[in-house]
Chain A
């Protein structure tokens, strides 16, 4: 038994199942991060004093990370575009680059985190650091999750390309949508935490 519209689009909705699924998932992710941002605003407006982000955090490193993530979004699109042109070799290169850039992001984050812990400024230090660690930690989990999915499509999942290239391209597109979302969350996180 096959599920209809896994690959082909349904005519009246113009979409396949995976596309709807991933957008609905992203809608719920918006609510997840939205609640955390809202909590940030509530706690910050309720505090008598609030540190500026750049007094506690490393802005140049985070700027570097922002560039890394934006670049990875570009390579993600290129990976998908290569599949659309049925150039599997180029797809592998761009997808590999996306995963590597994800790694770079996590490594930079590791240095930032370990610096905070080394000088005794963990999440319990104050509420600014509490929200910083919670938001960036959750974001890092998302980056990691996206990397796992991308690595699957780079490696074992790519077998599908041989039998059903359209389906495989769709899957990469959906994981790309998630990757862009993760990137977008960082675009909001960076000014909120580091600059304001």
Chain B
């Protein structure tokens, strides 16, 4: 026992020994362990992604075959929504608004930030848990309540919110009860994000291992760190806006209601004097940083996997970190590029299009660095790496097609067309969601001690990659033809939309077949818990600290508090005995 590490270890074991065993509820449901909460977030996020995707698969029927009754399951939705199996426009709007809301706030963010952030971040910085475990639990349950409120809103009279995920006023103010539920649900979700964000920030600053300076952080930790700042500072304005819209709806105020608004031929009784564009400003002040909340954790995941599977350090780590911080800062001053059509005036438009062009520079720096990191590596093409490499061109397409939307002049014809849909789905769907899939395959062994099946993983990857493009590539064509994204019949009543109608059929079949290719993933996910290949603590031979913990890590994570001796990606160091030198190994 002369070795100090052994003493610490013995004390730790003694300490663990008189821990009483927690009951089922405290251990798996109302847990304060960051790993359990991370898994809760991930599973909730995945279920909502599947649900949001199902809403979209319904919408795709209506878009491919407008007015044709939905076969087999069309009768299940009742006469109020789909009489005789044919979708009503109101139901289509419900599906559209809730698809967006669910995918962004209940699917991707909980999985990317709540799930991966909670599970991986404390492990990567060598912490025993999050800084505030109870607040962490509260944050998950707040999300859960928000999610249930959103789901419940489908069953209120008039159905769920129908004013788009952006809930533009004054339409959202005069909409049915579902919108009130939407606002209350959002307040829960915002609270959840705020609590999560301040927890991540405190954890990263305070609980990082000895020797783990900021410039030794894995890129994923940096990504989560900047993301948390965005959530912390950008979400409250939406909360304020949500409260004001709630006041407009419930207390009859007129924050977003102009004077003399005429609805269905009647002047509304509101006092008026409000400003509908104010809602847009407050909404996009959140929602633009939110775009980076969606993409930054994805970049973090991809960076980890690329460094690991090319067996070489990330190219330009410092430039990537500086770009990330700059990106986070700039994301607060680009929001009005979503609002070029509000008649904001050329001076304002010039300012926001300039900042938008500037923000593309750090994004390109990060993407280019990741691309150059592949150069000269002896790449292992396992499932996580396949998803991570596919992320690069897919996110590239999404990013580059965004440039015409960021310029005032070219935005005018493209605004609110399918082009916009194609653009941001390339960023978020084959971009972020591919990265999240990569992350699931990559960290699954850490969470369970077993690898997911590679063959099923490769089938999942190939199908997803092909059909993602079949879904979204035609939308560029439809959008360039000028078809609006809001039409419930894909524009079948308009002459100019006729030449592109058949592309909707292609997109729809792409979506359904992509759904089919998620089945191997779902099966693999559950099957591998018991039957996956058993692996050790560090199956990918990675360098970052999370792999020093046992798989799965026990409560408290590390037997001995780890220490960082070097940077995060010391792969293939010349002269070293093996091709990876972990951060936590003393030289």
Contact = CB atoms under 8 A, between A and B. Distances in A.
A114 interface: no
A108 B249 CA distance: 28
B570 interface: no
B233 A36 contact: no
Interface in A128-151: 130-131, 133-134, 138
A9 to B, nearest CB: 9
B251 A133 contact: yes
B205 interface: yes
A4 interface: yes
Task: Provide the main secondary structure of the chain A interface.
Answer: helix
B271 A127 contact: yes
Contacts of A15: 206
A3 interface: yes
Interface in B186-243: 194, 197-199, 201-202, 205-207, 232-237, 239-241, 243
Contact of A28 (B199, B236, B270): B236
Interface residues of A, number: 39
Contacts of A47: 273
A75 to B, nearest CB: 27
Interface-central residue, B130, B236, B237, by most chain A CB under 10 Å: B236
A5 B210 CA distance: 13
Contact of B255 (A20, A31, A43): A43
Nearest to B556: A1
B194 A130 contact: no
Contacts of A21: 131-132, 135, 198-199, 202
B133 A3 contact: yes
Contact of A124 (B131, B201, B252, B556): B252
A5 B15 CA distance: 18
Contacts of B254: 124, 127, 130
Interface stretch (B155-163, B274-282, B341-349, B573-581): B274-282
Given A1-B556, A3-B133, A134 B206 contact: no
B555 interface: yes
Interface in A108-137: 122-127, 130-131, 133-134
A42 B274 CA distance: 9
User: Which of A1, A13, A17, A33 has the most chain B CB atoms inside 10 A of its CB?
Assistant: A1
B236 A35 contact: yes
Contacts of B244: 36, 39, 134
B285 interface: yes
B128 A1 contact: yes
11 contacts: A1-B15, A5-B206, A21-B132, A24-B232, A31-B233, A31-B236, A33-B240, A123-B252, A123-B253, A127-B274, A134-B253
Interface of B: 15-16, 19, 128-133, 135, 194, 197-199, 201-202, 205-207, 232-237, 239-241, 243-244, 247, 251-255, 270-271, 273-275, 278, 281-282, 285, 555-556
Given A3-B133, A21-B131, 13 more contacts: A15-B206, A16-B206, A20-B205, A21-B135, A24-B197, A28-B194, A28-B232, A31-B235, A122-B251, A127-B271, A130-B271, A133-B251, A134-B243
